[in-house]
Amino acid sequence: MQLQTYFLVLCACVLKLVSTSVNVADVPCGRSQIRSAKIKGGTDAVPHQYPWVVSISTSGPNSPHFCGGSLVHKRFVITAAHCVHHKRPQDVQVLAGAHNVLIKDDKTVQSIPVSNIVIHSNYSKKYINDIAILELSQDAQWTKFVRPVCLADMELDTVKDSLNGLSVTAVGWGNTDEKQHGGRPAAILQKVDVVVVPTATCENWYNIDGVRFYDSHLCAGYENGGKDTCQGDSGGPLMMSDNEGRMTIVGVVSTGIGCGRPKTPGIYTRVSRYISWIQNNMTQLSARTQ
């Protein structure tokens, strides 16, 4: 009975925390107007269920998807640094409003060139500070198919391990599985629900030299594997719904070992650690274009 009481108190604290989110757009964030990675073990998303998710590709009409991202503002996309650290802005474009990335002439789709790439100054190829901002060359036009998402507030997980055990959702157009198991890139946006795993547990499960976990990392998956993000999902959002029904990004797909292997959950960049960095850079970039 004491354990049950403690669990209820803990849940109440978590619910209070997950209601906090940050809107950096000029319209309500985190709400889809559609009623209702490639991901391994996932299912097709409802068309335009996540209208903030964008496909990132090299410039050109027939360029394939290589990473995901999230619209947080009509001019800015959040993605993973490792997706774009070796690319020039003029070589990158964003596809917003897509459901099937092979259909790029759909009236719902907006293809927007990138004008600037800001990578975290302390980004490491070991997937530390794996976050970047893409500035678009023109504003995304808000429609029922293109909307912004909320960002996790800095206070979201200030209580240590407050997110552990919570169900979160990852989406993407990445591979359906590892290539040696027949995995292929998804045409239709996929979604999968995974669970936030305590960092200490994640470290114990991985138990591999050279893999280190930091406060800026977030692990999500299952001990037995089966559901996970995969190659091509990088940069996309890991999301949760707050108490007001708004979808909030808590993580950015970063890295992992394989796809859906036992005891190797996906590793994500913990968004709440970068709110000030995101806001400051957005402000500086906006000032330069005024």
Distances (CA, A) of 261 to 75, 217, 225, 229, 285: 37, 19, 5, 11, 40
Distance CA 39, CA 186 (A): 8
Side chain identity, residue 196: V
Which residue of the set 73, 99, 130, 177 is catalytic?
130
Active-site residue, 44 included: no
- Nearest partner of 119 among 93, 82, 149, 91, judged by Cα: 82
Active-site residue, 73 included: no
End-to-end C-alpha distance for the chain, whole angstroms: 61
- Nearest partner of 237 among 197, 190, 281, judged by Cα: 190
Which residue of the set 65, 73, 82, 120 is catalytic?
82
Q: Which residue has the tokens 């005024």?
A: 290
Distance CA 245, CA 150 (A): 11
Active-site residue, 21 included: no
Q: Which residue has the tokens 């968004």?
A: 271
Which residue of the set 21, 234, 254, 272 is catalytic?
234
Spell out the alpha helix ranges (H) of 26-182.
Answer: 81-84
Residues with a known catalytic role: 82, 130, 234
